[in-house]
Amino acid sequence: MSTTDYLLAGAAMALVLWNMRPHALTDRRLRRPLIIAAVVCMSFLHGVPTAGADGLLVALGVLTGAACGLIGALATRLEVEHGEVIAAATPLAYAVTGLAFGGRLAFAVAATNGLGPAIGRFSHSVGIHSQEAWVAALVLMAVADLVVRALVLWQRRSVSARWALQPAP
């Protein structure tokens, strides 16, 4: 990883965590993670190998990211205040996001700073033939996390807003 890669990763992590602080859950706020996901894809994703175990690794990355996004979104507290839906991440939401992001970054740092040959041997032993499969799995894991979180929060916001508009009995 280059210095630019580290800076992009740090900036993306800061933006994602900043977006999790208490705030009105507006369309703009829900679009931000989608924009971050697009930038991450353009910066790091250069192909998606799908043959054999490479495809399985990529699929596992996407499923893991989707699970993290779902947990993070469901662990985000929503309240209606003055007609606005306010979202606030709970410690669980922060933990899932931080651990997932930190784990991906730690893997990338390890792979480029000495553990690459060990990862290569492991990959060969399980039938992963492309280094690009690891990159695609990790990038798409991050993208799935961001997209699923945004979509679930959008749906939860819609339901919360509807409940808030109902007259009291």
DSSP assignment of 91-115, as one string?
Answer: HHHHHHHHHHHHHHHHHHHHHHTT-
**Model confidence over 20-44: pLDDT tens digits?**
889 999 999 899 889 988 988 888 8
Strands 76-81 vs 23-24: parallel, antiparallel or unpaired: unpaired
The answer to whether the beta carbons of residues 162 and 91 sit under 8 Å apart is: no
User: How wide is the angle at C-alpha 1 spanned by C-alphas 58 and 39, nearest 5°?
Assistant: 60
Spell out where 76-133 has E strands: 76-81, 84-89
What pLDDT does 43 receive?
A: 85
* Residue found by looking up tokens 């799995």 in the block: 137
Whole-number Å distance between alpha carbons of 55 and 61:
10
pTM for this predicted structure = 0.86
pLDDT band for 163, please (50, 70, 90 cuts): low
**Model confidence over 60-112: pLDDT tens digits?**
999 999 999 999 999 999 998 888 899 999 999 999 998 998 898 889 889 88
